[in-house]
């Protein structure tokens, strides 16, 4: 960079990307303006178009996911919606799994109003996806591990299915993170993150990210610029800070989740544990094939046989926080039926395996002995 660049005023690079709050930028000349607007140089004109702090974060996430580029936006749901709006038209068929974040159901209602045909599948039925493919299927959208039951979907198999009808394959990698899984190497066209979760990691920002090819980046950039989902520079700075420790945190969260899953798997008051790191988990073998360095920091389990027991268990916890979200430094627990799935009609919340007494636990980076002791004492009280 030039020594006169405002980001490097003395010719040396700051250790932290400066927070550039500018809404607009002065042009050095009409020729510079032309180069920026025609994409010849990485310049800036207006914040809704691009921002240097935001752009720095995009390049970091792209490297992490092995992508050519990445576009970040205001929230994880903004990222999902941008993908739908960019690549689905009236008359197209979208295949999406029930086992995704519940707010996608609300977006699907909007898409249906615009003439998109939406097919909902249980992730357990992913092996039979061929029978749901249609000539107009243009997109397959999935999470793996899924939210909240941590089911595993074979990404390579979904790529083969998508190729049969020329569909795009979109993988939400929020639960796995790039530390554990790289969907682009397995055939995904785009990888989505709610960067609010593990990428940020500190419960203090909201962001979404889409890692993909340069061509798809350009198309998604058009949508972001048009609808105004560009994130602000301060949030981008917080996200950059979180990304500096994401590998360390993900390693610790996965280790804590494994320890807690193994403890709960042997407890008489816990009839079911869902975590791909358990050898008896239905998705374990596929997870071993497509995940690395652990199986993520989230698990789900049933408490006794009714929701009141699950509530009593959560109320008795001292170290683990009763809160939504996941991927943070603190361990968080919630009942999906009452929180993350509240967007769905009540009759749809339990159709794919979630029960009223199912809880979702996102492991933090605490001492694992303290977490196990907290689980023990809470279970002893119900």
Q: What is the pLDDT of residues 210-231, one digit of tens each?
A: 999 999 999 999 999 999 999 9
Q: Where in the chain is the domain with CATH 3.90.1150.10?
A: 246-380
CB under 8 A, 24+ apart: contacts of 290-293? 290/144, 290/152, 290/154, 290/155, 290/156, 290/181, 290/186, 291/176, 291/180, 291/181, 292/180, 292/181, 293/179, 293/180, 293/251, 293/254
Work out the average pLDDT over 168-178: 98
Confidence category of residue 342, pLDDT binned at 50, 70, 90: confident
pLDDT tens-digit map of 238-285: 999 999 999 999 999 999 999 999 999 999 999 999 999 999 999 999
Annotated active-site residue 55? The verdict is no
Which is catalytic among the residues 48, 288, 348, 370? 48
Which is catalytic among the residues 99, 172, 281, 302? 172
Work out the average pLDDT over 126-153: 97
Mean pLDDT, the chain, integer: 95
Annotated active-site residue 172? The verdict is yes
Give the integer Cα–Cα distance in Å for 51 and 55: 6
Confidence category of residue 324, pLDDT binned at 50, 70, 90: very high
pLDDT tens-digit map of 13-31: 888 999 999 999 999 999 9
Q: Which CATH architecture has domain 246-380?
A: Alpha-Beta Complex (3.90)
pLDDT tens-digit map of 47-77: 999 999 999 999 999 999 999 999 999 999 9
Burial level of 203, CB count in 10 A (0-12/13-18/19+)?
Answer: middle
Q: Domain 50-243 class?
A: alpha beta
Q: Where in the chain is the domain with CATH 3.40.640.10?
A: 50-243
Annotated active-site residue 214? The verdict is no
Which is catalytic among the residues 151, 168, 197, 356? 197
- pLDDT of res. 7: 57
- pLDDT of res. 42: 79
Which is catalytic among the residues 25, 101, 105, 179? 101
Confidence category of residue 344, pLDDT binned at 50, 70, 90: confident
Quick one: residue 61, left, alpha or beta (phi over 0 = left, psi -120 to 50 = alpha)?
alpha
- 2 or 45: which leads in pLDDT: 45
């Amino acid at each position: 960079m030039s020594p006169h660049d405002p980001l490097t005023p003395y010719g040396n690079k700051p250790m932290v990307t400066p927070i550039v709050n500018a809404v607009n930028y002065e042009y050095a000349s009409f020729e510079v303006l032309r180069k920026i607007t025609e994409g010849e140089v990485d310049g800036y004109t207006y914040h809704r178009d691009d921002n240097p702090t935001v752009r720095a974060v995009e390049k970091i996430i792209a490297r992490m996911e092995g992508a050519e580029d990445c576009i970040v936006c205001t929230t994880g749901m903004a990222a999902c919606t941008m993908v739908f709006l960019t690549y689905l038209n009236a008359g197209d068929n979208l295949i999406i799994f029930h086992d995704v974040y519940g707010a996608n159901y609300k977006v699907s209602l909007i898409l249906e109003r615009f003439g998109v045909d939406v097919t909902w599948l249980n992730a357990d039925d992913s092996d039979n996806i061929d029978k749901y493919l249609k000539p107009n299927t243009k997109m397959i959208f999935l999470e793996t591990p899924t939210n909240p039951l941590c089911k595993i979907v074979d990404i390579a198999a979904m790529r083969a299915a998508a190729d049969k009808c020329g569909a795009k394959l979109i993988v939400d990698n929020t639960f796995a993170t790039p530390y554990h899984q790289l969907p682009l190497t397995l055939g995904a066209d785009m990888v989505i993150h709610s960067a609010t979760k593990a990428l940020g990691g500190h419960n203090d920002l909201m962001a979404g990210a889409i890692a993909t090819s340069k061509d798809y980046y350009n198309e998604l950039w058009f949508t972001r610029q048009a609808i105004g989902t560009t994130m602000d520079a301060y949030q981008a700075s917080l996200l950059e800070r979180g990304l500096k420790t994401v590998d360390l945190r993900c390693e610790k969260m996965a280790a804590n989740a494994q320890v807690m899953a193994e403890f709960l798997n042997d407890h008489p008051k816990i009839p079911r544990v869902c975590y791909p790191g358990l050898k008896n988990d239905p998705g374990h073998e596929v997870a071993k094939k497509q995940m690395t360095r652990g199986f993520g920091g989230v698990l789900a389990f049933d408490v006794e046989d009714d929701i009141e027991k699950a509530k009593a268990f959560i109320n008795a916890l001292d170290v683990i926080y009763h809160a939504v979200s996941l991927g943070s430094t603190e361990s968080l627990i919630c009942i999906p039926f009452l929180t993350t799935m509240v967007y769905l009609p009540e009759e749809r919340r339990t159709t794919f395996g979630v029960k009223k007494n199912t809880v979702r636990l996102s492991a933090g980076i605490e001492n694992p002995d303290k977490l196990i002791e907290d689980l023990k004492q809470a279970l002893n009280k119900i």
